[in-house]
């Protein structure tokens, strides 16, 4: 985000703090907390297809960990892998490195070392919700994503960043928090778009529609159906972009 845009957000927030802080504390205390998805964090789909498997890594926050789905096969990683395999007509070997509540800078410390030494064709970075709710500074956000993008591109992978989710539509949050956090999420996403363009990564603006059936019972994470729809839309964008860029 630009310095002035970030400053404008804080200027707007400060008078609302007496209302926003109690709402935030109450929401944190009463929010329904769902566990990450069960199952192996990697797999192969499309084994009957010809060709070498596409090596896919998803790295990110709770949606990569599959919160809201029963197992990772039915979460974003498994759904995206299946959708890509169907469109590309080749096997997809996928791996999900996700942690509930993690920020991008924390992922550089805790998740990135777990991917060291492995090679991937396509890396999808899924961040933004926790950096929004943790009020990560714009500089911290940008430097962390820059480190992640640079690491995987140096290893020969195509890198795509998913857009910061629209928190203004998260039904688990009170109206005031939705508006303030949705505004901040938009600021972070504009910074992510600019960074992606500079660093040679993709920025996929395709996100999940916040329909009730697409949300888990916590009103915060995707449901199994939501993950399926998101995975299909993301795969369609990736195939079009990837083939168009010669990937």
Mean of per-residue pLDDT scores for the chain: 86
How far CA 124 is from CA of 136, 150, 169, 174, in Å, comes to 21, 13, 23, 30
pLDDT for 176: 67
**Per-residue pLDDT at 197:** 94
Stretch 39-63: mean pLDDT, rounded?
95
Please, which residues have CB within 8 angstroms of residue 2's CB and are 6 or more apart in sequence?
Answer: none
More confident residue, 3 or 126: 126
Residue 190 lies in a domain: yes
What's residue 201's pLDDT? 96
C-beta separation of 103 from 135 below 8 A: no
In a domain, 6, yes or no: no
Tokens describing residue 120: 């991937």
Say if 5 falls within a structural domain: no
- pLDDT value at residue 24: 60
Q: Kindly tell me if the per-residue pLDDT of 232 is higher than 60.
A: yes
User: Is it the case that residue 244 has pLDDT exceeding 50?
Assistant: no
Residue whose C-alpha is closest to residue 159's, from 175, 170, 146: 146
Please say if the pLDDT value at position 170 is more than 80.
no
Locate all alpha helices (DSSP H) within the chain, ordered by sequence.
Answer: 3-13, 17-30, 62-65, 76-88, 104-110, 112-115, 129-133, 138-154, 175-199, 224-244
pLDDT band, very low/low/confident/very high, at 31 (cuts 50, 70, 90): low
- Decide: 145 and 192 in contact? Cβ < 8 Å: yes
Mean predicted confidence (pLDDT) in 31-41: 81
Average pLDDT over residues 47-52: 92
The pLDDT value recorded for residue 226 is: 92
pLDDT at position 30, please? 60
| Lowest-pLDDT choice from 12-16, 61-65, 198-202 | 12-16
Percent of the chain's residues with pLDDT above 70: 81
pLDDT tens-place string over residues 102-123: 999 999 999 999 998 899 999 9
- At 115 the pLDDT is 94
Structure tokens at 131: 């950096």
Q: Compute and round to an integer the Cα radius of gyration of the chain.
A: 18
Q: What is the pLDDT of residues 72-105, one digit of tens each?
A: 999 999 999 999 999 999 999 999 999 999 999 9
DSSP reduced 3-state for 217: coil
Task: Determine, yes or no, domain membership for 96.
Answer: yes
* Residue 27 within any structural domain of the chain: no
114 near 98, Cβ under 8 Å? no
CATH number at residue 172: 3.40.50.1110
Band of residue 166 on the pLDDT scale cut at 50, 70, 90: confident
User: Could you give the angle at which helices 175-199 and 3-13 cross, rounded to 10 degrees?
Assistant: 170
Distance (Å, whole) CA 37 – CA 65: 6
The whole-number pLDDT of residue 173 equals 72
Does 62 fall in a domain?
Answer: yes
Q: Is 126 a member of any domain?
A: yes
Instruction: Quote the tokens at residue 212.
Output: 């009730």
What is the span of the domain harbouring residue 192? 38-244
Query: What pLDDT is stored for residue 246 in this prediction?
Result: 45
Angle at the Cα of 153 (from 117 to 235), degrees rounded to 5? 100
Question: How many domains does the structure of the chain reveal?
Answer: 1
**15 vs 108, higher pLDDT:** 108
Domain-embedded: residue 231: yes
Q: How far apart are CA 36 and CA 125, in angstroms?
A: 18
pLDDT at 247 over 60: no
């Amino acid at each position: 985000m630009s310095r002035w845009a970030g400053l404008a957000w804080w200027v707007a927030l400060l008078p609302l703090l007496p209302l926003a802080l109690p709402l935030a504390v109450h929401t944190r205390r009463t929010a329904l907390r769902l566990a990450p998805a069960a199952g192996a964090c990697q797999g192969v789909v499309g084994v009957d297809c010809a060709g070498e498997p596409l090596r896919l890594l998803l790295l990110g926050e709770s949606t990569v960990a599959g919160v809201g789905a029963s197992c990772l096969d039915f979460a974003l990683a498994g759904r995206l892998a299946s959708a890509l395999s169907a469109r590309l007509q080749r096997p997809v070997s996928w791996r999900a490195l996700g942690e509930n509540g993690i920020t991008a800078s924390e992922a550089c410390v805790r998740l990135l070392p777990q991917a060291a030494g492995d090679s991937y064709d396509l890396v999808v970075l899924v961040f933004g919700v926790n950096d929004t709710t943790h009020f990560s500074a714009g500089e911290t956000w940008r430097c962390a994503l820059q480190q992640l993008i640079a690491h995987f591109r140096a290893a020969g992978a195509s890198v795509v960043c998913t857009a910061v989710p629209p928190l203004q539509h998260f039904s688990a949050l009170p109206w005031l928090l939705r508006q303030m956090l949705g505004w901040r999420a938009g600021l972070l996403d504009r910074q992510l778009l600019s960074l992606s363009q500079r660093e040679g990564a993709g920025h996929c603006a395709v996100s999940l529609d916040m329909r009730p059936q697409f949300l888990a019972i916590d009103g915060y994470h995707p449901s199994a159906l939501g993950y399926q729809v998101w995975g299909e839309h993301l795969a369609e964008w990736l195939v079009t972009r990837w083939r168009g860029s010669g990937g």
